[in-house]
């Protein structure tokens, strides 16, 4: 087993970072420091905590250009897009800071003469955030900021593909004067991560990643009676009704399928189109897809970068070829994308028709620029197909009839339901999933609940 992480850029295969994994002594020190710092951090009060966290956010955002380039170099998203992830980090952080006083306020019980009764929200202690590489800031901020605002200390374990993001977040909190031990990061192997999950000092684990990784976290936390938040990805569907504004639907869904090279948990992977609009939808989607520019993500004209590594690209190509062998048709000529090659992480986008739910593209997560499209006859058929998945993170309908959208949305088993939108996260709404997309919740007012412990006060006057 290696004792260090090595980050290889998917852009050109060069080494970006090499870091020693945390030793057992460093892990023990981090846990002890986090536990020791937490009480005083909570005692500072929510306004003082908010000032520190806000200052850290200010400092982080001020380094936007540096951070955006670091994301691009580490995981390959085009540089024209990575600054928006810094903006998303800021928006989510500021929203959770702003709503914290009200969300964390004591809950009063109905008035009763002679008694004072209320429920307070107490911090759970030390929160562990395990974040992935695909959206290295957005997945981390969801738990880091609300955990800190609630009075917890935080340890961040980031993906080996994006260690610089952990270091840049850590720098912002250090420069903002966060007390020692309140926010820390560790570069950790799988075994060390499991050691952290099992550590008695940890009171909550937030994990974003694969279903297999989520099972590993659950197994590590088993019997500890702590909260575990799991966001495990998806195979997200969209339905284009006959009354949809087709130009908007095509533009939104093609972006929802191919943005970040399809490496998004809530990206669109399945599209169902009303039969009457199907042919036109396909024609427009093909035309728009062919406008993408696959290439070096540091180049200004590039709109589609490489996937994270060559091995992942090979798995994506396997999904495409399996579908074609089973009768699907790829409407995109991959030769149009000159930089795509079999022995690289550069994958041409694929728009598959004549698909069915026996194919992997329609029933499992494919973390790449691939989408399957099927015609449907009725709303009822669309709902049945949307629900025919082991995942349930987000789903979308494109229509001009809000009543119809609500009727469909109430039938679809999903964590978030959109109308005329997709592949988006609103910090004012709960981020959650069902089925193999995981369990737990982050963001919004309810996102503070798993990071706090209810404590009842029942005071009697005598």
State the catalytic residues.
231
Distance CA 103, CA 140 (A): 20
- 154 CB-side CA count, 13 A: 28
Q: Which of 449, 440, 450, 388 is nearest to 415 (CA)?
A: 440
- Pairing relationship of beta strands 153-158 and 183-186 according to DSSP bridges: parallel
Query: For the chain, what is the radius of gyration of the CA atoms?
Result: 23
Distance CA 427, CA 441 (A): 12
At 393, is the secondary structure helix, strand, or coil? coil
**Cα angle, residue 250 at apex, residues 245 and 252 outer, rounded to 5°:** 95
Which helix (DSSP H) or strand (DSSP E) does residue 38 occupy? helix 24-43
At 117, is the secondary structure helix, strand, or coil? strand
Q: Kindly state the tokens that stand for 176.
A: 């903002």
- Pairing relationship of beta strands 370-376 and 268-274 according to DSSP bridges: parallel
In sequence order, what are the residues at sequence separation of 6 or more whose Cβ sits closer than 8 angstroms to the Cβ of residue 315?
Answer: 368
- 118 CB-side CA count, 13 A: 9
88 φ, ψ (degrees, to nearest 5): -65, -40
Query: What number of residues does the chain have?
Result: 462
Q: Are 235 and 387 in contact (CB under 8 A)?
A: no
Distance separating the N- and C-terminal Cα atoms of the chain: 65
Beta bridge partners of 357: none
């Amino acid at each position: 087993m290696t004792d260090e992480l090595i980050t290889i850029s998917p852009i050109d295969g060069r080494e970006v970072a090499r870091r020693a994994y945390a030793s057992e002594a460093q892990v023990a020190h981090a846990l002890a420091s986090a536990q020791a710092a937490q009480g005083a951090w909570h005692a500072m009060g929510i306004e003082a905590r908010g000032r520190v966290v806000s200052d850290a956010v200010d400092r982080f955002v001020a380094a936007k250009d540096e951070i955006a380039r670091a994301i691009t170099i580490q995981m390959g998203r085009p540089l024209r897009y990575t600054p928006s992830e810094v903006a998303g980090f800021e928006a989510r952080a500021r929203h959770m800071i702003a709503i914290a006083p009200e969300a964390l306020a004591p809950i009063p019980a109905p008035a009763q003469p002679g008694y004072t009764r209320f429920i307070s929200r107490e911090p759970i202690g030390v929160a562990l955030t395990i974040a992935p590489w695909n959206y290295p800031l957005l997945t981390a901020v969801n738990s880091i900021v609300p955990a800190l605002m609630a009075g917890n200390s935080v340890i961040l374990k980031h993906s080996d593909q994006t260690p610089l993001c952990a270091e840049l977040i850590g720098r912002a909190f250090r420069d903002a004067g966060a007390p020692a031990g309140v926010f820390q990061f560790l570069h950790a192997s799988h075994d060390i991560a499991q050691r952290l999950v099992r550590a008695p000092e940890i009171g909550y684990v937030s994990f974003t990643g694969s279903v297999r990784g989520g099972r590993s976290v659950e197994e590590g936390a088993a019997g500890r009676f702590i909260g575990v938040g799991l966001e495990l990805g998806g195979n997200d569907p969209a339905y284009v009704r006959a009354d949809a504004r087709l130009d908007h639907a095509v533009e939104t869904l093609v972006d929802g399928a191919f943005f970040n090279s399809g490496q998004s948990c809530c990206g669109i992977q399945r599209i169902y189109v009303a039969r009457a609009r199907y042919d036109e939808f396909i024609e427009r989607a093909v035309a728009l897809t062919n406008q993408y520019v696959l290439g070096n993500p540091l180049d200004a004209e590039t709109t589609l970068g490489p996937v994270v590594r060559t091995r992942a690209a090979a798995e994506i190509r396997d999904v495409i070829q399996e579908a074609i062998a089973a009768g699907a048709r790829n409407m995109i000529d991959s030769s149009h994308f000159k930089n795509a090659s079999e022995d690289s992480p550069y994958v041409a986008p694929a728009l598959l028709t004549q698909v069915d739910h026996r194919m992997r593209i329609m029933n499992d997560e494919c973390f790449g620029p691939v989408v399957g499209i099927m015609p449907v006859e009725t709303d009822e058929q669309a709902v049945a197909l949307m629900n025919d998945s082991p995942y349930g993170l987000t789903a979308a309908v494109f229509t001009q009839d809000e009543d119809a959208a609500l009727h469909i949305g109430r039938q679809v088993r999903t964590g978030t339901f959109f109308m005329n939108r997709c592949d988006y996260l609103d910090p004012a709404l709960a981020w959650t999933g069902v089925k193999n997309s995981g369990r737990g919740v982050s963001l919004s007012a309810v996102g503070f609940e798993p990071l706090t412990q209810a404590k009842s006060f029942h005071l009697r006057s005598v």
